[in-house]
Amino acid sequence: MGWELDSLTVDIANDTSLGSVSYELTGQNGSFTFNVSGDRVYSANFSFGNVRPEAVWHVLEGEMNSGGYARCVGSMGEAQMFLLGRMADGVNISIPVANFGAEVDLVAELRNATLIDGRWVPGSEVLRSVKISRTSVGASYSWITINFTVQLSPGRYFLVLHTDGWQPSSGYYDWGSHVEGLNEGPPDEGYELWTLNKGESWVTDVRDPYGNRYWHCMKIAPDYPEWDVLKELMVTVDGALLRKDGTWNGSVWLSVPSSGEVTVPVSAIAAQTYDVNCTARYVNYTGNLSSYSLYINDTMITSMIGGGYTVTYSGSSIGYNKTEGKVHLVVKLNDGSNWVSENLTVFAFAKLSFHGGPTISGASIEYDYTHNGTEVSFEQECFSLIYPADYTVKKVEVNGSDEQNWLDRAVNESARELIILKNESIGELGDGDKLELNVTLLPELNVTHGFGYVGEKLNVTVGNLLDLPDNVNVTVIYPNGTANYFSGSPSPTYNFSFSFTPYATGKYILKASTESEAASYSRNFTSGRTYIFYVYELTAYFIIPTQENWTSGRTYTVSIWVGYTPSLDSKEFNGTVNLMVNGTVQEVSYNSNTGFYTSSITPRGPGKLNLTVTATDNEGHVMQPKCIIVNISPPETPSSTSFLTVNLAAFTARYAKMNSINVHVSILFLALTSMLTVLNYVKPSFARRIMYVLQRTLGKKG
């Protein structure tokens, strides 16, 4: 029959009785228990209701990589938006905060979001306010949890932080943040906001001293009255997921301990309380085979359950043949001296799996199966489909009907898993029965566009819309945080194209969603949740001169960098560069070692030089002229005092040996030096003439 045997558990007894029990229980966290007067529970039905998790945290941002730039003190306050998907009875919010010497308490406010000039900002009405004692906030960043108990509708809200009464203080509070990386976009909740006037207005384009935007670290735990136990809480019973209606129906193979209390493990993404109605079917091995030795296929079995023996096999260890779909068991009993004959009851629990080979075609997976062989009953999790991580599941159909009881989750970075739970239409398969599975996928989108240049029309194409949605919505977030929106239907070639003219350089962020059959789906790109691209402009910078004062007659080398900003490693400038000096074209050359354009300039007189550089690349982009003004000073004239000192020093050094010949001559020269020094201040021109004569005379003698 083509099915793999994953495991086979065999219980053998000489006398049995069957029974069932039903309970209404209240359970919490990891398990619930009920009493059974038997030895083995072999199947059960569970129905869960009133499932209430303690806290299910949605992490807006958990990685803090910046601090010190989100200060709350006096009239300054901080805000971060968050989203609620449905009605809630309140919300817990956790944030990292530090107190850097603030002497007043901190206040956390919950406010509605309001749209002003295309941007979401905190509304003026405070829904709830919580005061946080300054002593409860440490001097280093730590996560604190704030509880707001208030009825909240689906929508956008802001958490606002400021000092109590907006009081000033010598210190401040700081809210930990996450600085946006080069290839990162903001979460759906957007960037942080800042106020300087006690919340009367909000600065929406906030940056750190390095020009980076950021958003606050935050986790929220809404108090929803109702939860989806499958896709939100992922509640499992004995390792298998609950259906959306809280039901579980399948085979179990649980041993009953001597106490009679059967424990059923329950897990979820958060601790929870619940009510459960359960019906368990069990078998009691009333006989006693303990006085016999039991052999299966000539191997002695030693484990017992109640009055019977039990053993578990893998398919390979029992010699399972999947073509026949059978196993062969030879059971023998020995009373210690002889082989004996006995009426035995065999309870067997076989876990089977069928491994098909469905493939992805376009944006769907279709698989048809015809059963051949013995009747099989599906387990609670009846399908498991592993597929590439560049898809997510949009819709599941089983036997032509929409199936809602499925879960799509990540396995690792390259794979995802679709789990489909059984229902009435896929409870059992008999010989010749057919099963049809159709899964519609949402493929990751790709984006193509030309070189983004400021002020020039940019054509953008969003592709790989293989699911052909009814409508495509694209949001373009500009460097300053404003947004532009584009909508339309995809083309028959699975693309959606639009154009816009960027007015500023910097990072642009694309987000996309699609609509099909009145449902909306957030879409991922091959690059992740957002697509990032940059818009550039051609510009130049004077690297040298570093000073703006030159001296006439000296030669200076001017170095100029020409390229695209923001910095673009993948695209080098190719084109022409012109340097004008007071309107006259100056020769420019390219230095491949430094990557700079250079020119040598020798100013010929005092005044000012206007150095202006222009450039045009091979694609026709023209940069705005960049200029620098250089002041030119006249050449420096050596001072008379310096001239006199140098010559007298030379004279003294050359004739130092005269001390040994005639000390009177040295005294004469010392007197002459003093006289010339005084004369230099009284009549400088006459002193220079005397020194000129001395220089020539000494030069001849030397």
Is the confidence at residue 614, as pLDDT, over 50? Answer: yes
Q: Count Cβ neighbours within 10 Å for each residue of 564-599 and write b for 16 or more, e otherwise.
A: beeeeeeeebeeebebebeeeebebeeeeeeebbbb
Rounded-to-integer distance, Cα 211 and Cα 206, Å: 9
Residue 153 has pLDDT above 60, yes or no: yes
Domains of the chain: residue spans and CATH:
1-8+288-350 (no CATH), 17-51+233-284 (2.60.120), 58-222 (2.60.120), 356-443 (2.60.40), 446-533 (2.60.40.10), 537-633 (2.60.40.10), 640-701 (no CATH)
211-225, 240-254, 421-435: segment of lowest average pLDDT:
421-435
Across residues 501-518, what is the average pLDDT? 94
Q: What is the dihedral sign for C-alpha 196, 202, 205, 208?
A: positive
Q: State the pLDDT at residue 547.
A: 66
Q: Which runs of E-coded beta strand occur in 197-297?
A: 214-216, 218-222, 236-237, 240-241, 247-255, 261-267, 272-284, 293-296
Number of residues in the chain: 702
> What does DSSP assign to residue 75?
T
Nearest 5°: the CA angle 387, 390, 395 is: 65
pLDDT in tens, 214-234: 999 999 999 999 999 999 999
DSSP category for residue 702: -
Number of DSSP helices (H) and strands (E) in the chain, helices first: 3, 56
- Find tokens 């052999």 and name the residue: 295
Give the whole-angstrom CA distance, residue 376 versus residue 433: 11
The answer to pTM > 0.85 is: no
Which helix (H) or strand (E) covers residue 51, if one does?
strand 40-53
Top pLDDT among 312 and 429 is at 312
| pLDDT tens per residue across span 646-701 | 444 443 344 333 344 344 434 444 445 555 554 444 445 545 555 544 544 444 44
Looking at per-residue pLDDT, the higher value among 78 and 663 belongs to 78
Q: What is the pLDDT of residues 305-324, one digit of tens each?
A: 999 999 999 998 998 888 88
Location of structure tokens 């006398």:
15
Q: Does position 411 have pLDDT exceeding 90, yes or no? A: yes
Structure tokens at 667: 């005294």
Which residues make beta-bridge pairs with 628?
611
